[in-house]
Amino acid sequence: MYCVDGGRGSTGGDDVGVGGGRGSTGGDDVGVGGGRGSTGGDDVGVGGGRGSTGGDDVGVDGGRGSTGGDDVGVGGGRGSTGGDDVGVGGGRGSTGGDDGGRGSTGAPGRLATIGTEHWVKYLLILGGKAVPSIPVKVLESVDWLKSGVMSPVKDQGHCGSCWAFSARGAIEARYKLLTNKSTLLSEQLLVDCGHETGSLGCAGGRMDQAFSFIKKHGLALESAYPYSAKSGLCRIDESPAFKAGYIHTFYFVQSKSEHELKKALATGPVSVALRASSFSFRHYKSGVLKGDCSGPISHAGLAVGYGAQDGIEYWLVKNSWGANWGESGYIKIARGVNELDNSGECGILAEPVFPVLNSALLTTV
């Protein structure tokens, strides 16, 4: 679950704490999924809102995060927390030890990887697909910002809606690539109505959930459903400008491979999960950020290319903290860096996902 801290506005201690939702509380360990988590003694887990608690071993339930004593098994992708071993389903940031959400302090939990069987089950639930390898040539550099396909940078404000901005931005850019027409779609509709596919509005969500929702329902224009930076009453447009079916499917680049992310970026911008709780990330101004991306993966951005600056390789990422943040709303994150879980600098390789639009159905919106 990304943006579990309610956007940029939460504060606590030295690092930004958890807000934006109804996170669980308990003894030593607090897991945050932004929803209606369970509470207990030492270990409190939230699996996207419906986390269960148990003894030592908690089995897989195919989608709703579980928590337990020492070993936690997770199915379906929603983040789980627990005592010593935390299993992560589908990439949603999980925490153990004393960690809460994005920017909490404490000993970080050990991240594990979900098994193939449960990963596939999760994909089938949302209607996405895993891509072993993308059959395109790896280019020396890619920059979709310079190519002119990117929509303007926006500010999510005090709402944990980074996931909606990332998903919407990926669709807008890929729509322009196919039609040579610009469009601005509504992230607010995703915030208000995305609960159907597991997102929690301003309390967090995921890009794959957003793609799944849009694939089924379509998406209104921003002008018809403007952003308010707060969760509101769902008003699904029965005749949206971006119609149901315009998204053919969405693909996960799940190998935690720089090579595969480069290949995905050759096809267009790619939604990515990020570690963004460090001071250096939050107060980034310019240059290439390297070596200071602490905390759990709980933010989302949009990778729009890669290249090198002064001999340092980087990924170029569009953020949703306004055009006055970073390099006009963008950040360069060091490339060629592998963290302990092989997720790359700031976790950028942890869970890339991108939509595939149905070019045969697209019309000007």
Q: Report the catalytic residues.
A: 162, 299, 319
Residue 363: CB atoms within 10 A of its CB come to 10
The full DSSP string for 223-282 is: TTS---SS-------SS-SB-TTSEEEEEE-TT--HHHHHHHHTTS-EEEEE---SHHHH
The full DSSP string for 170-205 is: HHHHHHHHHHS----B-HHHHHHHGGGGT--TTB-B
Tell me the two tokens of residue 136. Answer: 């395109």
Task: Determine the Cα–Cα distance for residues 295 and 274; give it in Å rounded to an integer.
Answer: 10
- C-beta of residue 274 within 8 angstroms of C-beta of residue 301: yes
- C-beta of residue 162 within 8 angstroms of C-beta of residue 320: yes
- C-beta of residue 95 within 8 angstroms of C-beta of residue 87: no
Task: Determine the Cα–Cα distance for residues 288 and 332; give it in Å rounded to an integer.
Answer: 5
Which residues fall within 8 angstroms of residue 317, CB to CB, at 6 or more apart?
272, 274, 301, 302, 303, 304, 330, 331, 332, 333, 348
Which residues fall within 8 angstroms of residue 49, CB to CB, at 6 or more apart?
33, 34, 35, 36, 37, 64, 78, 200
DSSP alpha helices (H): ranges in the chain?
116-126, 162-179, 187-193, 207-217, 258-265, 279-282
